[in-house]
Structure 1
Amino acid sequence: MDFNVVLILLLIACISYLIMVYAKMLQKRGQLPPGPVPLPIVGNLLQVNSDNFAQSLIAMSKKYGPVFTLYMGSQPNLVLCGYETIKEALISQGDQFVGRGPCPFFENFTKGNDILTSNGDKWKELRKFALQTMRNFGVGKRSIEERIQEEIQFLIKELRKTNKSPVDPTLIFCRSVSNVICSVLFGSRFDYEDKTFQTIVSTTNENFKIMSSSWGMLYNIYSDVLQYLPGPHKKLFGNYETLRAILQDSIKAHQKTLDPNNPRDYIDVFLIKMEQEKNNPTSHYFMESLIMTMHNLIYGGTDTVTTFLRYSVLVLMKFPEVAEKIQEEINQVIGQTRPPATEDRKMMPYTDAVIQELQRFTDIGPLAIVHLVMQDTQLHGYKIPKGLPVIPVITSVHYDPTQYEKPEDFNPANFLDQNGCFKKNDAVMVFSAGKRICPGENLARMEIFLFLTTLLQNFTFQPLGNREDIDLSPTGGTLENLPHSYQCCAIPR
């Protein structure tokens, strides 16, 4: 047969296949909430801005409503916008929306043997174990507060060493924050110059940059193809494997010195649980799940607070009058001779309000990690089928005009009443909401207050240029909103 004829037949076959797939896509689309018309293969990707994905979705919601369908490639996703809509789905219908949707840049490494990407009984069991173990080692109690306070003093020493010289605070903050969760997992803190610890911090920081980029979004959509192609995603999984090796070495060392009657840390408790369930064929406690749950806790316990601190310092340099008012409240309630404590928070309404506003305004997690509909349900009058991935747009909560008068402005008064007392607003979902809320939420809230107040107790942060020139717009925009890289001077008070 003539070669040209073969090519023509192959072309016809490919076109016919695409037409058939597209026809099925459009047929299924008719059974879902409305949304923009998808194209073959790319879906609606050409209609969104990968540099500001959340804002693209919010713009679409103005046309299609707070519940609409978006195709990421050939996969339909349910998009949720606005505080009331997300609250109804994740909280009021928590059981229906509790599943974890596809997340290849985590799942292709963890294989579902973790807290983040697992579903059903495995997720419930591993999450419950992690929460209970962290509580047993002091999370939410005075003992973990003392660990945090101790770690912050190492941070203060590092900043004093800069001697008012310009510094990028990213790694300084990251090392200190990471050491808190590492002390729970490994039983002790790391020295900042420890090569293993530096590797944990640097690979974690690098991976969040990759996952928050357009490459991270593309890998999540086309992982079956991209896993065979070069790109930054290859570095992502190389860093994962580097962390795996570190965790395996630490676990082996723990196994040699394990005392079942005196567990020292998360690793010991998990190893004891593995031994107890070694004859249970359905057990969720095995070596791979230990490694992967530790992987989750290191990533979750490091990045959110680190990014918050980096962004907060930048915002407060832009609005120094806010930082000064926090410092005045610190002087009145705490003074300069003792470290801040969580008990101080109830007497510091302005500081509390600023922290809430910083969490809302910086909007570190613009999108909740993809959920999954676990059973047929209804939302806003639409039939929502089981198995549909769900994208809650958290930015639409933090910038919801029905919840905040001028959401685009940084304004701590959003969380203060007329008497200057702290005013709670549930339209802050920095840790997500519902049953999939971050398991490290309580630890992170404690860290945020103690780190920020201690930093401002000891330093005033100054920008290198004019504060008017500080750019608060985020980079990233998919998994995380990250601040632009910057340097500042830490001026001792």
Structure 2
Amino acid sequence: MEPLEDFVSSLFSGPTAAIGAVFLLLILYLVSVSSAGVRREPPGPRPLPLLGNLLQLDLNRPHKTLHELSKKYGSVFAVYFGTKKVVVLAGYKAVKEALVSFAEEFGDREISPIFNDTNKGHGILFANGESWKEMRRFSLTALRDFGMGKRVTEEKVLEECGHLIQTFEEHKGQPFDAAHPLNYATSNIISSLVYGSRFECTDPRFRNLISRANESIRVTGSVAIQLYNMFPWLVKWVKARQVMLKNFERSVRDVKDLIKHLKETLNPQICRGLVDCFLIRKQKDEDSCVIDSHFIEENLIFTVANLFAAGTDSTATTLRWALLLMAKYPKIQDQVKEELTRVIGSREVRVDDRKNLPYANAVIHETQRLGDIIPMSIPHKTSRDVTFKGYFIKEGTTVIPLLTSVLHDESEWETPYSFNPSHFLNSEGKFVKRDAFLAFSAGRRVCLGESLAKMELFLFVTNLLQRFRFTPPPGVSEDELDLKPAVGFLLAPSPHELCAVSLQ
């Protein structure tokens, strides 16, 4: 027998068996420690028991704290939200590589307790697996079939723009808050694609749906909900959670009523909107006895609710930033107006005009970059173990692609914290795309309505600036207009009023 075999055999025979077992366990421990050393985990601030890094985070603006931490710990680092380990990806290169080159590994959605309470794994935004894939594929196809990003949707946007212009004119140049009118306009566009028709802005159910969606999005970013997501077993009684659950319950009831009406008037030969397409597909699967079909009522309700909320607040918030920035920087507003007058004249601005309006296009993109409305994206989750940038990240780890660090990346933008449309213009004044413009995120979870949002932003901003000059209220200077965002999941401007002075 070989010497090594003699040694091992002696360890597990006679009185030395116990000592041998301990010795083997020690070897296994040392091997595991050595392996862990090879599988280097992301660095980060030392967490406290139970609290994690809670005391180091500004929960009103956690994206700012994480951005600052990235300057110390690098483009991949870990923090603890309570007991939950979260890996943060910072800077353009890390975020783009993770979401695109490692799309599968970083492609799952982290479903926080509050969204598990409400969506329960259904719909598009807060779902994973085959159900999510099927709902996203179906929604994208249906919305494209109904003209998302095409001429037919352009007409819907221009129709809403006409209603918006009329509303602005009613204020006769006096100060007013544009938040509600902008929300109604953007919501009606997604409603026409989903339900097949628009709502009257005086419709109380329509107004309540928008109000509840806006409030829920705002409350999602509150300290109370963040604490609930960290310690759901401890603070499930918080008022903010009750508000969200009540809003959710009422909105689901309204959506069910709208779907019921469409179902009663359904013609299988004609699809009026996404809901009709879903109902027809649902009936087809039922008739064919399809096993495990994802076309079920819960997925319809939550897909509609997700599209309504996402298609309303994000675009309306960006438009609010655009008008506020125009009022704050009147010289830039003058340059947009000059370009519109020179290229378009007095006729209505169309999507095809975008290629001939490079400065206006640059202003809109810069608004999205500086507005930075979803600074932490919607958190992802790793679908499997992955080694990224030399760091080992375990399957099921929550991942935050820190979009604010991309849109303000000092290695990508000449003046990252200033409103500078030249970021999107070359030396000849022509519009240029920038790789680090990830306002819609990237990869598998890129914004489903990106093409629609781009169309809306261009048509609304240009047609409004063609008809109005936006100024601060009387007695308020441009310097006094506050660009500090309100607290919330989406970074909206703080409440403010502007004057829309008619130019015609």
Tell me the TM-score normalised to structure 2 length.
0.90
Equivalent residue for 1:424, pick from 421, 428, 433: 433
Equivalent residue for 2:297, pick from 287, 294, 297: 287
Alpha-carbon distance, 1:225 to partner: 3.1
* TM-superposition CA deviations, 1:158-199 (whole Å, max 9, x none): 111111121111101101110000111111111111111111
CA distance in 2, matches of 1:439, 1:202: 23
Alpha-carbon distance, 1:102 to partner: 2.5
CA distance in 2, matches of 1:38, 1:153: 54
CA distance in 2, matches of 1:101, 1:202: 26
Equivalent residue for 2:311, pick from 301, 312, 316: 301
Misfit runs of 4+, over 4 Å: 28-31
Determine which structure has more spread, i.e. the larger CA radius of gyration: 2
Aligned-residue CA RMSD in angstroms?
A: 1.6
Which amino acid in 1 is paired with 2:144? Answer: R
The equivalent of 2:228 in structure 1 is: 219
Alpha-carbon distance, 1:351 to partner: 0.7
Contact 1:51 1:475 in 2 (8 A): no
Equivalent residue for 1:192, pick from 184, 190, 201: 201
CA distance in 2, matches of 1:244, 1:263: 22
The equivalent of 1:481 in structure 2 is: 491
Alpha-carbon distance, 1:208 to partner: 1.7
SS in 2 for 1:224: coil
Alpha-carbon distance, 1:133 to partner: 0.4
Query: Could you tell me the percent identity over the aligned residues?
Result: 40
SS in 2 for 1:400: coil
Equivalent residue for 2:210, pick from 160, 180, 201: 201
Equivalent residue for 1:366, pick from 363, 375, 388: 375
Q: Does the alignment pair 1:158 with 2:167? A: yes
Alpha-carbon distance, 1:152 to partner: 0.8
SS in 2 for 1:223: coil
CA distance in 1, matches of 2:258, 2:349: 33
**Unaligned residue ranges in structure 2 (runs of 5+):** 1-35
The equivalent of 2:109 in structure 1 is: 100
Q: Does the alignment pair 1:450 with 2:433? A: no
The equivalent of 2:16 in structure 1 is: none
Which amino acid in 2 is paired with 1:169? Answer: A
**Unaligned residue ranges in structure 1 (runs of 5+):** 1-27
After TM superposition, the structure 1 stretch with the greater mean CA deviation from structure 2, 207-216 or 265-274, is 207-216
Tell me the TM-score normalised to structure 1 length.
0.92
The equivalent of 1:263 in structure 2 is: 271
Alignment of 1:300-449 (within 5 A): 300-336=310-346, 338-449=347-458
CA distance in 2, matches of 1:276, 1:224: 42
CA distance in 2, matches of 1:429, 1:491: 33
Give aligned pairs, total.
464
The equivalent of 1:112 in structure 2 is: 121
CA distance in 2, matches of 1:335, 1:152: 18
SS in 1 for 2:232: helix
After TM superposition, the structure 1 stretch with the greater mean CA deviation from structure 2, 87-96 or 104-113, is 104-113
Alpha-carbon distance, 1:233 to partner: 2.3
SS in 1 for 2:155: helix
CA distance in 2, matches of 1:73, 1:121: 30
Contact 2:40 2:390 in 1 (8 A): no
CA distance in 2, matches of 1:112, 1:144: 30
Alpha-carbon distance, 1:80 to partner: 0.5
SS in 1 for 2:78: strand
Which amino acid in 2 is paired with 1:70? Answer: V
After TM superposition, the structure 1 stretch with the greater mean CA deviation from structure 2, 344-353 or 32-41, is 32-41
Contact 1:375 1:387 in 2 (8 A): yes
SS in 2 for 1:390: strand
CA 230–188 in structure 1, closer or farther in 2 if over 3 Å, else same: same
SS in 2 for 1:482: coil
Alpha-carbon distance, 1:31 to partner: 6.1
SS in 2 for 1:328: helix
CA distance in 2, matches of 1:121, 1:245: 26
Q: Does the alignment pair 1:272 with 2:280? A: yes
Alpha-carbon distance, 1:106 to partner: 2.5
* TM-superposition CA deviations, 1:112-153 (whole Å, max 9, x none): 111111112111110000000001111121001101101110
